[in-house]
């Protein structure tokens, strides 16, 4: 079976997906070679070029086939990830050599969390209802307090398994994040945390409806489009909320979503924030965590942000709609290679029978280039979900990043972006209108940079402070710039990379260039263009910019226009 054809969801395996097991000799089918675009400028994924030394990169062709009866398996990220997880959680065997990551020795570790030590006085522990990698969950009944008589869930984390500083910090951060985010209707509610000499006890809402994975299996492996929409809206709603707070979950999968009750229309709740972390909008994480089937390519390359969660949601959506995994192999190493190299199949049943909007929705989440992937807020605004009831699109942090980049751009690039904004479709404009209105424009229809600060305060939690998102927003609000009306806001908040990931990108760019020719294009010298772009004297501008300008009239060429839209820097030219 080719890796790009997925595999139907089968009966559940007792072993965990997150634990990276052995490196096998699984065959890897030749994934379809991605065709280079005939488009004058195509921005490829940065992953292969930026992370040449990544443990995820492998090469099968280098094996000397004529010497060995069968080729050696290609270098796999599985061993590397297994070692990272082992170091993180202190499960390295005594005879295994390793590179230390912080304190690895249990001797002298401070396992006192400062939680209340009277768990037994407040709760009576019941039977086990679930088990994870580093703990287990039991039902319990409250003996006293505001929850007296109420059934709850208690996650029990043995301190004996906390053998590294990192493992202890993971538990501390999980409790902190749960406390900060509690209140969203699609996130399991956290009530309290306790500890004794042996365990940490995290008291949470008890969800009795079972896992999303179980419900998928009970439906024969897949959902109808309408039922899938109901699930996706709830998942995207809670993930958009987390991302706005600067929290990335890092282990989104059907097993980590529970239904409150057995009712068919029960509310869905996200659980297990044990691998979650804070991430600032302009920073990247580099530790490799997650579950093999749902891990994003950039996680394997050790440079990622909230976009990694969106990839995982794309995998869940793919499974919901067709009953198969988009990437499959017999071993974890094979799965990783499929994630990096293979394209999911949309040719086999039931995909041809599904709506074009459903296919586009999943494809735009499973784009290997994280820059072209939809954000959670954008996914909620996608045409596939636009007509679904009760869809509330939250503030999207990508708007803040794009506006910041726009303000720092040259006047020429701003003119180019203004032309591109005029080509946007009704759904794209609806998303931007929603984001604009959440910033609170005045009666004249303008927003100031201060609006970016006040627009975020109403959604702020302690997690937003811990992730330093608040600091980032304060920095943006302090920038001196004129007030923006909706037209300029669209130019500022447009993502060129995301547009480029759409099948209609070339039409957008061609139409925008026509508009630019009428209103913004003018004769320009190479030296002036270099100055507009802020290029340093070390860049050989006559070499790198010669095809940006038409020789016939000295105006910006179409190629130059498209490159200008993406934004350039001296560093990008030096890399080229």
3-state secondary structure 487-555: HHHHHHHCCHHHHHCCCCHHHHHHHHHHHHHHHCCCCCCHHHHHHHHCCCCCCCHHHHCHHHECCCCCC
Residue in 288, 286, 247 with CA at minimum distance from that of residue 270? 247
Name 154's bridge partners. Answer: 138, 203
Please write down the long-range contacts of 338-341, taking CB distance under 8 Å and 24 or more positions apart.
Answer: 338/3, 338/4, 338/28, 338/31, 339/295, 339/296, 339/297, 339/300, 340/56, 340/57, 340/297, 340/300, 340/368, 341/3, 341/28, 341/31
CA neighbor of 297 nearest in space, from 314, 272, 280, 282? 314
- For residues 495 and 490, what is the distance between their CA atoms, to the nearest angstrom? 10
Whether 368 and 57 have beta carbons less than 8 Å apart is answered as no
Which residue among the candidates 23, 170, 192, 251 is catalytic per the annotation? 251
Residue 1 has a CB neighbour count (10 Å cut-off) of 11
Residue 422 annotated in ligand binding: no
Q: In whole angstroms, what is the distance from residue 310 CA to residue 232 CA?
A: 11
Whether 396 is a known active-site residue: answer: no
Instruction: Spell out the alpha helix ranges (H) of 387-504.
Output: 397-407, 411-421, 426-438, 449-457, 462-466, 469-477, 486-493, 496-500
Q: Which residue has the tokens 């040259």?
A: 410
Distance separating alpha carbons of residues 171 and 435, to the nearest angstrom = 35
Cβ 285 vs Cβ 248: under 8 Å? yes
DSSP, res 352: G
Structure tokens at 487: 């037209």
Catalytic residues: 251
For the annotated binding site for ATP, the residues are 155
For the annotated binding site, the residues are 155
């Amino acid at each position: 079976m080719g890796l790009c054809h997925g595999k139907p969801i089968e009966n559940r395996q007792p072993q965990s997906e997150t634990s990276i097991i052995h490196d096998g000799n699984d065959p890897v089918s030749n994934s379809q070679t991605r065709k280079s675009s005939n488009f004058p400028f195509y921005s490829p994924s940065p992953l292969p070029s930026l992370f040449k030394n990544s443990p995820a990169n492998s090469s099968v062709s280098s094996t000397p086939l004529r010497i060995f009866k069968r080729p050696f398996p290609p270098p796999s990220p599985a061993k590397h990830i297994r070692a990272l997880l082992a170091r993180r959680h202190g499960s390295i065997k005594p005879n295994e050599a390793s590179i230390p990551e912080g304190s690895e020795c249990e001797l002298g570790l401070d396992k006192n969390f400062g939680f209340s030590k009277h768990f037994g006085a407040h709760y009576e522990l019941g039977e086990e209802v679930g088990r994870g990698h580093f703990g287990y969950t039991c039902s319990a009944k409250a003996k006293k307090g505001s929850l007296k008589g109420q059934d709850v869930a208690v996650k029990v984390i043995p301190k004996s398994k906390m053998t590294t500083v990192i493992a202890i910090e993971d538990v501390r951060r999980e409790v902190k994040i749960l406390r900060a985010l509690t209140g969203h209707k699609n996130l399991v509610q956290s009530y309290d945390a306790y500890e004794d000499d042996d365990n940490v006890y995290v008291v949470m809402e008890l969800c009795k409806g079972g896992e999303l994975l179980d419900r998928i299996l009970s439906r024969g492996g897949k959902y109808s489009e309408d039922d899938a929409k109901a699930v996706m809206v709830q998942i995207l709603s809670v993930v958009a909320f987390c991302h706005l707070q600067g929290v990335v979950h890092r282990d989104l999968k059907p097993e980590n979503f529970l239904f409150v009750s057995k009712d068919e229309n029960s509310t869905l709740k996200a659980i297990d924030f044990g691998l979650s972390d804070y991430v600032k909008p302009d920073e990247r994480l580099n530790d490799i965590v997650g579950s093999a089937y749902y891990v994003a390519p950039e996680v394997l390359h050790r440079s990622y942000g909230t976009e990694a969660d969106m990839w995982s949601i794309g995998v869940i959506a793919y499974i919901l709609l067709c009953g198969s995994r988009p990437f499959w192999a017999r071993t974890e190493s094979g799965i990783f290679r499929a994630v990096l190299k293979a394209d999911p199949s949309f040719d086999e049943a039931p995909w041809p029978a599904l709506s074009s909007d459903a296919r586009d929705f999943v494809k735009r989440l499973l784009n290997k280039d994280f820059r072209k992937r939809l954000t959670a807020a954008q996914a909620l605004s996608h045409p596939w979900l636009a007509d679904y009831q009760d869809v509330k699109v939250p503030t999207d942090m990508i708007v803040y990043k794009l506006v910041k980049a726009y303000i720092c751009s040259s006047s020429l690039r701003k003119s180019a972006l203004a032309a591109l904004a005029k080509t946007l479709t009704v759904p794209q404009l609806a998303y931007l209108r929603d984001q604009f209105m959440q910033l609170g424009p005045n009666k004249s229809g303008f927003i100031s940079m201060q609006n970016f600060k006040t627009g975020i305060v109403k959604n702020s939690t302690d997690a937003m402070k811990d992730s330093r998102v608040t600091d980032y927003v304060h920095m943006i609000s302090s920038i001196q710039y004129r007030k923006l009306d909706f037209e300029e806001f669209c130019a500022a908040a447009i993502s060129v990379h995301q547009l480029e990931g759409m099948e209609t990108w070339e039409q957008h760019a061609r139409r925008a260039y026509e508009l630019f020719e009428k209103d913004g294009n003018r004769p320009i010298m190479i030296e002036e263009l270099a100055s507009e772009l802020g290029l340093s004297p070390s860049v050989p501008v006559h070499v790198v910019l010669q095809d940006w300008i038409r020789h016939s009239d000295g105006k910006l060429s179409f190629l130059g226009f498209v490159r200008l839209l993406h934004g350039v820097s001296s560093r990008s030219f030096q890399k080229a």
